[in-house]
Structure 1
Amino acid sequence: MISVLYLVDNLGPGGSQRYVAELARHAASFGVLPHVCSAKEGGVFHEELLREKTPLFFAPFRKLYGPDGFRALTTLAGYVRSHRIDVLHTFQTNANILGTMAARITGRRVITTRRDMGDFGMRGSPRLAAFETHVINRLSDRIVANSRAAMEAAQRNEGIPPEKLGCIYNGIDCGRFRPEADKRPWRRALNVPETSSCVFGIVAGHRPVKSVDTAIRAFSRVRARHPDSLLLLVGGGPERANLEALVRNLGLESSALFLGAREDVENLLPAFDVFLNSSRSESFSNAILEAMASGLPVVATRVGGNPESVSEGVTGFLVPADDPDSMGKVMESLASDPLLRERMGQAGRERVHALFSKERSFLELEKLYLSVLRR
């Protein structure tokens, strides 16, 4: 088996962390002995990895550039040597930096990931971010994006050689998600009205890049023509108070309901009729795939990798970012047509099973690990 160390900045809620937990859980099925390293202890996936008995260790630091960062690097390099790690596979910026350096110190192969479009989340000054990106790109054996859009953006903006860059889509556990014809018990469990004509839902952090306010404004347009429709907002973050104020200002207190941050999304999606994604930037959304696997039509912004998951007019609709009128218009068409919702939802489920299953993703990862070890 190939011994792979997965590195993340933390084990709290997040798409990268969930993906690493999935990789660790199913690693044996694609010929991998997994180890996981995080810079921080705690978090929902910390407990999950412990339950799965995944080898887990921590390389903590307060500041990456300084004595703490050096200690974290030496700790990481020591673990790589003592546990005979073959490949380091890193996620997120700090992990990418530490992982590439540790790989060079120990003579191991390293794969870094690109899971954003390079236009949000820049750390520190642009000059520092550019330097870090240059170092990561130079030291990586392979760089893997989770969408063609992210891969092409990295190649276009950073001049990465095509042979060093690849794309492996996120894979999800399709068996964890299922369509539900009778939505009433799922709505009852959430304490929301069972007989609403159309329930829209969004699962996203309350951060500016997710533009949840666009979804709320779009829903206000739908609500005017479909007064018994609902909007369920799942997530948390620094924008929560502003979003609650917007709901009050639009008079939507009884129809736009905040459910908070949740990890059991498989118990929430069956209560929805339509899934929304209003992001300003998105490399490739796990939440969209999970909604499609649950048989939901998707209304998403035409940004990043969203057009690679959502087939326009077949599994849902794509609209411009920051355009609540355009989003509201297609939401109205779905609210008015249950048969269209059903048809698009079924097409979406078939698309996820065919293209975005965890089995397909893991098979491509196994090929990648073998290819870097042959170099």
Structure 2
Amino acid sequence: MTKQQKNTSLPAILCLTDACDRPESELFIGLKRAGFDVDVMCNPKGRNYQRLVDVGMVAQPIALKNRFDKEGIAAIREQLGKKNYEIIHAYNPRALACGLTASKGTDIKIVAYRGVIGNISFLNPESWITFLHPRVSKIVCVADAIKDYLANLKFLWLRIPDSKLQRIYKGHDLSWYQAEPADLSEFGVQDEDFVVCCTGRNTPRKGFDDLIQAMRELPSDVKVHLLLVGDVDKNEEIRELAARSSASERIHFTGFRTDAPSLAAASDVFVLPSKEREGLPRAVIESMVYGVPPVVTRVGGMPELVENEVSGLVVPPSNSIELAGAIERLYRDEGFRAQLGQAARERIAGQFHTAETVRETSELYKSLVGRS
């Protein structure tokens, strides 16, 4: 490659990830269509793996076991030897650590992705082999809240330079979401019932306890059915809390479901009552796509995703009274509920579209290698 060609051509990118989701996969495909030479190393067990194979983007299947995976590092190093890659884009800490090790001794630019707040510290040795590693050129943050969190990390004179941080929202497309609303009768829910859906992993920070308490705070004439979707059904403490609730017969544990978006689409309201550390939760985005108004807490990137009183309602975290008030308001005002749902759908279509993610990522890559 001549110097002139190098200054005008688009850089070759090696993306390292695990079982990539739809937005991630479509970003890779969008970059390829934009003219970038993009190869992907990802987990062959991922739902979108075959789609990437079909468009010729999988360089090697890889499933990294940890941040020191010798076999994985060797596979990445082998791939780097096959092409003049100028950028590695790593989408999780394991991929980042292994990519940094595999590319040691090269001048390849390293881009890291960060989707959550927390677990990075100047006092944590593992942070120095991932996001705080001096060879990391950029950290792409999925929300401004994550970018602000990283910008405020300090220890003595140490901090992450602002120039290393960039917010790029993970993009979506309404056409990806074609699921039919689920039949909720298996949970004893009738067509005329008012349903609140909450999807999340079994972790205390998701605030399931606050939501169950909010059910107790609702007036007696507000009859709401609550669907708790995910592995929270294995949490005995939460199950006991629900059993003691005055609304226990209307609290339903679905367990892990592959059709979680269909359950949200069949609901009247979607609630995510997280206490801390959220990025841009996929479950909230999916509910918004289906026109289901969200109620979220003022945590992490959720207030960026949901405009209070416009595309949903935002309440303080760990406040069951405020949470109950938001649910009651949407229960009693069908017109307002429909208005928020429509605005939520339009917000994802307009402000969080995959085309914008492709454009911003393209500009980032070109700026890293000095091309415009």
Q: 2:16 aligns with which of 7, 20, 28?
A: 7
- The AA in structure 2 aligned to 1:301 is T
SS at match of 2:81: helix
Letter in 2 for 1:258: F
Residue identity in the other structure for 2:288: M
Deviation at 1:341, TM superposition (A): 0.4
Match of 1:279 among 274, 281, 286: 274
Residue 336 (str. 1) matches residue 363 (str. 2) = no
Write the distance in 2 (CA, Å) between the matches of 1:358 and 1:248: 42
| Structure 1 residue 147: Cα displacement | 0.7
Structure 1 position 130, deviation (Å) = 4.3
**Residues of 2 paired with 1:191 and 1:248: CA distance?**
16
- CA-CA distance at 1:190 after TM superposition: 5.8
Provide the identity percentage: 24
**Paired residues of 1:49 and 1:56 also in contact (CA < 8 A):** no
Equivalents in 2 of 1:291, 1:148: separation in Å?
21
Q: Which runs of 5+ in 1 are unaligned?
A: none
Equivalent residues of 2:197, 2:269 under 8 A apart: yes
Deviations 1:126-151 (A, max 9, x none): 53244335643x21121110111110
2: CA distance, partners of 1:21 / 1:169: 14
The correspondence for 1:21, drawn from 7, 25, 31, is 25
Q: Paired residue for 1:367, among 342, 358, 363?
A: 363
**Greater C-alpha radius of gyration:** 2
Once the two structures are superposed, what CA deviation does each residue of 1:123-178 show, in whole Å capped at 9, x if it has no partner? 9x953244335643x21121110111110110111422122211001111222347
Note the C-alpha offset of 1:371: 1.6
Partner of 2:91: 91
* Paired letter, 1:346: Q
2:45 to 30, 42, 45: 42
AA matched with 1:216? I
Equivalent in 284, 289, 307 of residue 288 of structure 1: 284
Aligned partner of 1:110 in structure 2 is 110
Question: Mean alpha-carbon deviation: is it higher for 41-50 or for 85-94?
Answer: 41-50
Cα gap change, 1:190/1:73 in structure 2, threshold over 3 Å: closer, same or farther? same
CA distance in 1, matches of 2:362, 2:64: 31
CA, structure 1 residues 26+212, in 2 after alignment: closer, same or farther (shift >3 Å)? farther
1:235 matched to 2:230? The reply is yes
Hey, what does 2:310 align to over in structure 1? 314
Residue equivalent to 1:82: 82
Q: Which amino acid aligns with 1:167?
A: R
How many Å apart are 1:77 and its aligned residue?
1.4
TM (normalized to structure 1)? Answer: 0.84
Task: State the distance in 2 between where 1:77 and 1:36 align.
Answer: 14
What are the Cα deviations for residues 321-341 of structure 1, in whole angstroms up to 9, with x where unaligned?
Answer: 122121111111111111110
One-letter amino acid of the counterpart of residue 124, structure 2: R
Deviation at 1:27? 4.0
SS of residue matched to 1:141: strand
**Bigger shift: residues 162-171 or 229-238:** 229-238
Distance 1:63 1:358 in 2: 30
Whole-angstrom distance in 1 between the partners of 2:47 and 2:101: 28
Q: 1:31 to 1:213 in 2, by over 3 A?
A: farther
Between the aligned partners of 1:190 and 1:33, the Cα distance in structure 2 is: 48
CA RMSD of aligned residues (A): 3.0
Deviation at 1:238, TM superposition (A): 8.4
> Structure 1 stretch 100-109 or stretch 194-203: which is displaced more?
100-109
Q: State whether residues 59 and 73 of structure 1, in contact with CA within 8 Å, keep that contact through their aligned partners in structure 2.
A: no
Query: Structure 2 length as normaliser, TM-score?
Result: 0.84
Would the alpha carbon gap of residues 308 and 60 (structure 1) be closer, same or farther in structure 2, given more than 3 Å must change? closer
Aligned partner of 1:148 in structure 2 is 144
Pick the structure with more helix per residue: 1
| Contact residue 178 and residue 295 of structure 1 kept, 8 A | no
Within 1, Cα distance between the matches of 2:188 and 2:51? 30
Mapping 1:145-224, distance limit 5 Å: 145-158=141-154, 159-177=159-177, 186-188=182-184, 192-222=188-218, 224=220
Provide the C-alpha distance between the structure 1 equivalents of 2:263 and 2:129, rounded to a whole number of angstroms: 39
Distance 1:63 1:3 in 2: 26
CA contact (8 A) 2:269 2:295 kept: yes
| Alignment check: 8 A CA contact 2:112 2:131 kept | no
Once residues 214 and 53 of structure 1 are traced to their aligned partners in structure 2, the CA distance between those partners, rounded to angstroms, is 46
